[in-house]
Structure 1
């Protein structure tokens, strides 16, 4: 069962999100909060797999709540849910360690997919958000590519290979099949990669993989 804490200052929105998540029998909303401070408290009390937080809330906004949750309860993944798609929100949410950024105006199925992905340690971006992130990365690729290559140069050859496949969107199990090792070995590599690169999660590692040119250009197949 995937346990979720839901935070939004509008009761109607919480009701709608809870109803969408209830369509998946493996997802359970264990607590709800009407502000960011209460969300942090409930995460610490319940230790859920995923926290779904709105951006604009009283007492503590969703972005500050995301940073606190990731600092105090690193095992809990955070999905940021909002009607706002400005680049500043996206960059800050991902920079604070969020596992995904979803728009309230998106397909409800994205919410379920996002919660499942976050619970599995993967990343999920609303397609509209992903497009904005990709466009921004394209604009900044020349400037940031050299820095990313310098940062990833310290990795071993196998770690660079795993990072490239992670950047291509493969799960740990898929990477394990690709490089012919057990899944536990891939998990160990991913942990080492995150630590050595100084990044908080797979989203940030995947961005670095793209910037460093480590993602296979022709895609991947089993």
Structure 2
């Protein structure tokens, strides 16, 4: 895949800086700060999602695109929460891949058409179902008030849903990174999540969503 990507991108406006395997531990060491990082999604989703977080923490301004032969909707949601800007299929034609990367660099979020269809199918199914008693639906899900999150914790939780690392959150809120870590631990404890990904997924279902996903066509 790496050599194939090199051949495709050499014929585009993108300039390759480095192609490297993900480190087992530690930081990435590209020759320059990358504007775009391509990550091959392995079968173990937690591994490449953690790599996405490492890239976001080390290069906050870099755009991230994940490549795979297929994408599960739940995994796409986790990747988006971690900071992925685009999801592209390895079977895409070179012209489609290049155009998708260009859209990502313009600030768009790109999804394969199959994922978009899954999303729209879910919306249609929800519209077709008869309305249910809101009090019953809400009783099945813990609400934000029940978790007793502080205003600052709510603010940080919103940042987690955007896949922002502690360093970026600290800079945005003008507090120390160590303070952010303390707040994140408190958030995980209060909502019963075991990690940042679970917290982001929990919050994404309860906080207003930001941003629009554009289909990969």
Q: Under a length normalisation based on structure 2, what TM-score does the superposition of the two structures give?
A: 0.54
Where relative contact order (Cα < 8 A, 6+ residues apart) is larger, the structure is 2
Q: Residue 99 and residue 75 in structure 1: after superposition, are their counterparts in 2 closer, same or farther (change >3 A)?
A: same
Deviation at 1:80, TM superposition (A): 0.5
| CA deviation string 1:178-204 (max 9, x = no partner) | xxxxxxxxxxxxxxxxx9964538xx6
Q: Which residue of 2 aligns with 1:19?
A: 7
Is the contact between residue 35 and residue 61 of structure 1 (CA under 8 Å) also seen in structure 2? no
Q: Residue 130 and residue 101 in structure 1: after superposition, are their counterparts in 2 closer, same or farther (change >3 A)?
A: same
- 2:80 is aligned, of 79, 91, 94, to 94
Deviation at 1:99, TM superposition (A): 0.5
Q: Which of 1 and 2 has greater Rg?
A: 2
- 1:35 is aligned, of 22, 30, 38, to 22
Is the contact between residue 22 and residue 28 of structure 2 (CA under 8 Å) also seen in structure 1? no
Deviation at 1:207, TM superposition (A): 4.7
Is the contact between residue 9 and residue 98 of structure 2 (CA under 8 Å) also seen in structure 1? yes
Q: Which residue of 2 aligns with 1:200?
A: 162
Q: Under a length normalisation based on structure 1, what TM-score does the superposition of the two structures give?
A: 0.53
Deviation at 1:37, TM superposition (A): 4.8
Find the residue that maps to 1:33 and give its secondary structure: coil
Unmatched tracts of structure 2, length 5 or more: 133-155, 164-208
Q: Output aligned runs, 1:65-214, within 5 Å.
A: 65-139=51-125, 198=159, 200=162, 205-207=210-212
Deviation at 1:35, TM superposition (A): 2.6
- Cα RMSD after superposing both structures: 3.8
Q: Which residue of 2 aligns with 1:186?
A: none
